[in-house]
Amino acid sequence: MITLEQVRKRAEADAKTYGYYLTPDADLLTAFLEGLKVNEDRYGYPLCPCRLASGKYEYDRDIICPCDYRDPDVAQYGACYCRLYVNKAVYESKNLPEVPERRPIEKQNRAYAPQTAKEATTEGTQEKPASATMAQQTGQFKKKLWYCKQCGYMVYREDPPYICPICKAKREMFAEIKSEVEFSG
Amino acid sequence: MITLEQVRKRAEADAKTYGYYLTPDADLLTAFLEGLKVNEDRYGYPLCPCRLASGKYEYDRDIICPCDYRDPDVAQYGACYCRLYVNKAVYESKNLPEVPERRPIEKQNRAYAPQTAKEATTEGTQEKPASATMAQQTGQFKKKLWYCKQCGYMVYREDPPYICPICKAKREMFAEIKSEVEFSG
Amino acid sequence: MITLEQVRKRAEADAKTYGYYLTPDADLLTAFLEGLKVNEDRYGYPLCPCRLASGKYEYDRDIICPCDYRDPDVAQYGACYCRLYVNKAVYESKNLPEVPERRPIEKQNRAYAPQTAKEATTEGTQEKPASATMAQQTGQFKKKLWYCKQCGYMVYREDPPYICPICKAKREMFAEIKSEVEFSG
């Protein structure tokens, strides 16, 4: 089990790496870090405490803290959706901005719909939920090799990151690396 | 269109990530950031304002800010070629060093020669400029998979970075990952 | 030959990138940096001065500074094994913690055993040391493609890093990317 102190240290170190600050609201900070600890103990990964978990790793991956949306949100609004990570101006002003949910609706649907689908259709079986099967069939959520056309940074994901963590290029700078080989994992 | 404020924030955040500072010369700073904004509006990417654009992404890639040469230049001279990014000592002394152009002459040639070649030889056609075709034939500029032998960091580029952004190993520590598969993209 | 000043600058820049500090003990710091310079001059890479070199790159790779063990050690103990890199709390308290050796015993064996094995068994031949051959036969030390299941970060290494340098996920979040292709390099 992870300790609250380890969760705090990891968040502080990560904020420093990216030039961010942790929220200036001390009560919020404590609540967030406790939320992260509870989620890590429960799910095995530090799921965002401000969002609803599906409990399935492959559907929750994008909202594991630091989530996929943190960097574009801090760049655009000065804070992430939870206001756990903020930039210097927000940290000093202590005015936490409203940050709209950037998570695409199809990822939200994928995360929460299958539960119902499963309960309704696969009662007593071990089949996969309908929507996941469909996504696999259509290849919509298949992992691919991507690279940043500016710096060459490579990732293996369903879709490219919003901002290149190495050179800060925009998502549009990512392209798929194609080959005749199938990759899995 | 990107705002000047977004350009400034991105540069500040990136400086912080790498432990750099933005130039201590306020007038230079304003001029640079405006130059980056103009280039991003014009070309779609923040091309270095101190260099000449070819206007073709594949030839300009290495001089998109932060350019391929920034990290080795800051390591060696305390500042990048433009003196936009500087280290702490330069920031505090306010003595901006002279930084020679590290961009290889063959990349400069590739970027600026094709324009003339194209005008001369492919008037009215859709053919690729001669030098690009030649480079593709010889495979000189073909993208490859590279990895850092120290930390394993992978990139998909024509040539490896000067410094590994993850572990700071020198360019010589990069080697090609070979296989029988052709990659494209 | 690298200068002591270059070694110092690289270590300072890297500490800043990761939100670390260099040891607050000035004598230790000088000794470490000189040790790194000596090793880089001798071996071509800045081997950890607190560990014993095998002199073979493929066996020493994990203890090239910053070593594979730095990030999990700073996260857990506030300092790396050498106490060259420390976190803010350790830097300010000036109390350097004891940090146990995290390097797996099999990597230590692999690094130091072959010398003896070679001397004993391949006297006068150009054969590879027994243990290296065995490792290659069993594929135990073969490089593979790995990716972080949280952020998609890719590496080409024998084993995944302890902490994802991009999103800070734990080693358990890394999985192998599989395909029918053999990679080498």
For residue range A30-65, list pLDDT tens digits in order: 999 999 999 999 998 899 999 998 888 889 999 999
CB atoms B149 and C10 under 8 Å: no
Subunit contact C147:A61, Cβ cutoff 8 A: no
Contact call for residues B62 and B69 (beta carbons, < 8 A) = yes
Calculate mean pLDDT across residues C152-167: 94
Touching chains, A (3+ CB pairs < 8 A): B, C
Give the Å distances, CA to CA, from A146 to A177, A182, B33, C153.
6, 14, 29, 10
Mean pLDDT (whole number) for A65-85? 94
CB contact under 8 A, A154 and C151: no
H helix or E strand, kind and range, residue C131: helix C130-138
Beta bridge partners of B64: B47
Judge whether B160 and B146 are in contact, CB under 8 Å.
yes
Confidence of residue C114 (pLDDT cuts 50, 70, 90): low
pLDDT class of B129 with cuts at 50, 70, 90: very low
Integer Cα distance of C86 and C83 in angstroms: 6
Q: Which residue in B45, C153, C119 sits closest to A160, CA to CA?
A: C153
Q: Do C177 and A184 touch (CB under 8 A)?
A: yes
Shortest CA gap B13–chain C (Å): 12
Query: ipTM of this predicted complex?
Result: 0.77
Q: Are C55 and C43 in contact (CB under 8 A)?
A: yes
Q: If pLDDT is split at 50, 70 and 90, which confidence band does C30 have?
A: very high
pLDDT at B125 over 80: no
Report the percent of chain A where pLDDT is more than 90: 62
Task: Take residue B131 and report the two structure tokens written for it.
Answer: 């030098």
Share of chain C above pLDDT 90, in %: 62
C176: its two tokens: 């192998």
Most confident of the ranges A9-23, B4-18, C94-108, C119-133: C94-108
Task: Let me know: does C183 contact C156? Beta carbons within 8 Å.
Answer: yes
Q: Which residues of A touch B154 (CB under 8 A)?
A: 154
Which residues from chain A sit within 8 angstroms of residue B155, using beta carbons? 147, 151-154
Tally B–C CB contacts below 8 A: 67
A161 CB near a chain C CB, below 8 Å? yes
Quote the tokens at residue B14: 């990136």
> Checking DSSP bridges between strand C144-148 and strand C174-176, what pairing results, if any?
antiparallel
Which of A146-150, A153-157, B11-15 has the lowest average pLDDT? B11-15
Interface check for B181 against chain C (CB to CB < 8 A): the answer is yes
Q: In B, which residues are within 8 Å of A150 by CB distance?
A: 45, 61, 64
Identify the chains in contact with C, defined as 3+ C-beta pairs within 8 A.
A, B
Residue B22 has a pLDDT of 97
CA distance B150 to chain C (A): 6
Q: How far is B47 from chain C (nearest CA, A)?
A: 24
**Model-level pTM?**
0.79
Chains that touch B (3 or more CB pairs under 8 A): A, C
Strand partners, B153: C155
Segment C76-106, tens digit of pLDDT: 899 999 999 999 999 999 999 999 999 999 8
pLDDT range class, residue C123, cuts 50, 70, 90: very low
